[in-house]
């Protein structure tokens, strides 16, 4: 039995006359990575924001941990976003006045951890992502790839179970993009966490367990559509050979589990196989 961490069912959402989502359904298996692709305006960000509890759909349900997050109070939903979900955006959205370590520690402080206790884990996260020695730099003193790795650390320091990323490599060149994906996959899926990302880059999508393709607010039926975009067959029954295991991912081996993190078992081949076959694309 696969372990679904998120089950979105028949999401519909309008912005004025625009139907951004049109009866979209998507299941996410715990410990896997899902890439959402599609043309500009096809509804990718809207879907990601729904799954992450940032937006509430006009219609449809999203099951997470036995609850429908569309029915939660604003207060419960913000607690969920703060404590169980992590976010990485195209432009990090880091606070420029703060240093790298302060940006990461802040996420933990917002859940009630005193600053003095937040700085240690923040330093560990930065080190695990190859940023040791850069703790005290302000964001403007980091490269784009380094800043994205700070954002990746910030997204996970609370022990988030699901990391949502909207075009996390969108502003990076291909070499830096590869490094950031190494960091993102090595720190999430390789440790049993779940990653859902939006991307326009087939190379980024190819690193994920599964790719879904959106068009006009709907997920295209069938895996063929997605493999057309990514240039690979995604209905394979084995684990995606492109996804690096913990040993292959820089930083993953020495990766600290944050104190508040539940450290689930690494994603197994079984789970990955299921992700490719059982859960994909629904009409
Ligand atoms: N806040 C908003 N107000 C009005 N229309 C919106 C809003 N957000 C999104 N839309 C519209 O909803 C549709 C889907 O937008 P969305 O941002 O989800 O697309 P996307 O696939 O993420 O595109 P991109 O690749 O350009 O980021 C688009 O037609 C967009 O113009
Ligand atoms: Mg978008």
* pLDDT tens digits along 8-24: 999 999 999 999 999 99
Quote the pLDDT of residue 239. Answer: 35
Q: Confidence class of residue 262 from pLDDT cuts 50, 70 and 90?
A: very low
Percent of the chain residues past pLDDT 90, beyond the cut: 72
Count Cβ atoms below 10 Å from residue 269 Cβ, excluding itself. Answer: 12
Residue 48 CA: which ligand 1 atom is closest? 18
CB-based contacts of 122, cutoff 8 Å, min separation 6: 101, 102, 104, 105, 108, 135, 153, 157
Which residue CA neighbors atom 11 of ligand 1 most closely?
A: 20
To test the ligand 1 pocket, which listed residue (26, 36, 39, 45) has its Cβ within 8 A of the most ligand atoms?
Answer: 45
Residue 43 CA: which ligand 1 atom is closest? 18
Quote the pLDDT of residue 93. Answer: 82
Give the mean pLDDT of 219-246.
47
At residue 226, does pLDDT exceed 60? no
Quote the pLDDT of residue 89. Answer: 85
Greater confidence, 281 or 156?
156
Which residue CA neighbors atom 7 of ligand 1 most closely?
A: 15
Give residue ranges with CB within 6 A of ligand 1.
15-16, 18, 20, 38, 40-46
* pLDDT tens digits along 11-64: 999 999 999 999 999 999 999 999 999 999 999 999 999 999 999 999 999 999
* pLDDT tens digits along 181-197: 999 999 999 999 999 99
Ligand 1 center to 78 CA (angstroms): 22
Q: Confidence class of residue 213 from pLDDT cuts 50, 70 and 90?
A: very high
Residue 21 CA: which ligand 1 atom is closest? 14
Which residue CA neighbors atom 27 of ligand 1 most closely?
A: 40
To test the ligand 1 pocket, which listed residue (13, 14, 16, 18) has its Cβ within 8 A of the most ligand atoms?
Answer: 18
Ligand 2 center to 139 CA (angstroms): 24
Residues within 5 A (CB) of ion ligand 2: 45
* CATH code reported for the domain at 32-42+79-270: 3.40.50.300
Ligand 1 center to 19 CA (angstroms): 9
* pLDDT tens digits along 83-132: 899 999 877 689 999 999 999 999 999 999 999 999 999 999 999 999 99
Which residue CA neighbors atom 2 of ligand 1 most closely?
A: 15
Which residue CA neighbors atom 28 of ligand 1 most closely?
A: 41
Which residue CA neighbors atom 19 of ligand 1 most closely?
A: 41
At residue 251, does pLDDT exceed 50? no
Which residue CA neighbors atom 18 of ligand 1 most closely?
A: 43
DSSP codes of every residue in the chain: ---EEEEEEEEEEEETTEEEEEEEEEEEETT-EEEEEESTTSSHHHHHHHHTTSS--SEEEEEETTEEGGGS-HHHHHHHHHHTEEEE-TT----TTSBHHHHHHHHHHTTT--HHHHHHHHHHHHHHTT-TT-TT-BGGGS-HHHHHHHHHHHHHTT--SEEEEESTTTTS-HHHHHHHHHHHHHHTGGGT-EEEEE-S-HHHHTTSSEEEEEETTEEPSSHHHHHHHHTS-S--SSPPTTS--TTTSTTTTTPPPPTT---PPPPPHHHHHHHHHTSS---
Residue 47 CA: which ligand 1 atom is closest? 18
Ligand 1 center to 273 CA (angstroms): 32
């Amino acid at each position: 039995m696969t372990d679904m961490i998120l089950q979105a069912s028949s999401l519909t959402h309008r912005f004025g006359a625009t139907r951004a989502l049109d009866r979209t359904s998507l299941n996410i298996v715990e410990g896997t990575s899902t890439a959402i692709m599609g043309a500009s305006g096809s509804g990718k960000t809207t879907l990601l924001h729904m799954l992450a509890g940032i937006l509430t759909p006009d219609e449809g349900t999203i099951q997470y941990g036995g609850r429908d997050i569309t029915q939660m109070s604003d207060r419960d939903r913000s607690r969920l976003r703060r404590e169980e979900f992590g976010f990485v955006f195209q432009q990090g959205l880091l606070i420029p006045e703060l240093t790298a370590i302060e940006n990461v520690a802040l996420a933990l402080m917002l859940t009630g951890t005193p600053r003095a206790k937040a700085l240690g884990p923040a330093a560990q996260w930065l080190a695990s992502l190859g940023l040791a020695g850069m703790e005290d730099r302000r964001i403007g003193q980091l490269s784009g790839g380094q800043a994205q790795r700070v954002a990746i650390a910030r997204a996970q320091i609370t022990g988030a179970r699901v990391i949502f990323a909207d075009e996390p490599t969108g502003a990076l060149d291909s070499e830096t993009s590869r490094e950031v994906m190494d960091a993102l996959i090595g720190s999430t899926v390789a440790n049993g966490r779940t990653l859902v990302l939006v991307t326009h880059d087939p190379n980024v999508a190819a690193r994920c367990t599964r790719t879904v393709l959106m068009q006009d607010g709907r997920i295209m039926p069938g895996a063929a559509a997605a493999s057309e975009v990514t240039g690979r067959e995604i209905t394979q029954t084995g684990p995606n050979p492109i996804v690096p295991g913990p040993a292959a991912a820089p930083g993953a081996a020495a990766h600290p589990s944050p104190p508040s993190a539940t450290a689930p078992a690494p994603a197994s081949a079984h789970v990955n196989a299921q992700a490719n076959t059982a859960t994909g694309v629904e009409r």
